[in-house]
Amino acid sequence: MPSLRALATAVLVLALSSGGVAARGERPAVPAPSEPAPAPKTGEPARSDAASGEAGTAPDSDKSAEKTYDLAIPADFAAAMRDLGYRADLDRTDGGRPSILSRVARTDFDVTFFGCEDDRRCTHVLVTATWDYGESGDPLAALNEWNDTKVFGRAWYHEDTDAVGLDVTWTLAGRIDLATLDDQLRWWNDAVEEFRTFLNENIYENGPPETQDASARDI
């Protein structure tokens, strides 16, 4: 894992939402940036669904700095994820934005691109994991507790779709190597894993529902 100094100079800049209050209703497309990404945990593997099929380990990655990727191009972003061993299916949102469907920590998530010109030169992505709520009571108090105490990942509740979710924003700038993207995806994996535990203890009586249907593919 790179040092804090290496992360500070990385060309992929992580912009976090302000947190503090869980969003109700229509969530903004672009959370406001606040604090920088935390330093990676050294000596501790991320908890993830592995490409090799071994539970509880992150996908193996080739961290060679020789090859770089332009993450402002959705196809390059997806290619980099695949080279790290992640599932990365290119798709589009209902509004026509480029997106990538992937999976970590037993949870499907989306990478949605913003500020693009002809599917290139995108300025940032919103990385989102969503769970159906379907419980009685208002989850906002618990979600506010998450936002008040966590730096990485904004929790929210969407009334119209009766769903809870977690998201982060990444600003895209220049080309990066696999090691830099790998660090960000491992931090996202850890946040999703921790948020699942939080949902199990504070939101759902029987744990959060699996987000994978019978036809979905793991990493």
The confidence score (pLDDT) of residue 59 equals 55
Segment 94-103, tens digit of pLDDT: 999 999 999 9
Q: Is residue 212 part of a domain?
A: no
Which DSSP string do the residues of 38-60 spell out, in sequence order?
PPPPTT-------TTS-TT-PPP
Number of domains in the chain: 1
Q: Is residue 37 part of a domain?
A: no
The confidence score (pLDDT) of residue 6 equals 39
Phi/psi for 212 (5° steps) reads -105, 130
CATH code of residue 176? 3.30.1460.10
**Domain limits at 78?**
12-26+64-202
Report which of residues 166 and 215 the model is more confident about.
166
Which neighbouring-strand residues pair with 159? none
Q: Is residue 78 part of a domain?
A: yes
Q: Is residue 46 part of a domain?
A: no
User: How far is the C-alpha of 66 from the C-alpha of 45, rounded, in Å?
Assistant: 23
User: How far is the C-alpha of 79 from the C-alpha of 92, rounded, in Å?
Assistant: 16
The confidence score (pLDDT) of residue 60 equals 52
Residue 83's CB is within 10 A of a number of other CB atoms, namely: 18
Q: Is residue 207 part of a domain?
A: no
Residue 74 pLDDT greater than 90, yes or no? yes
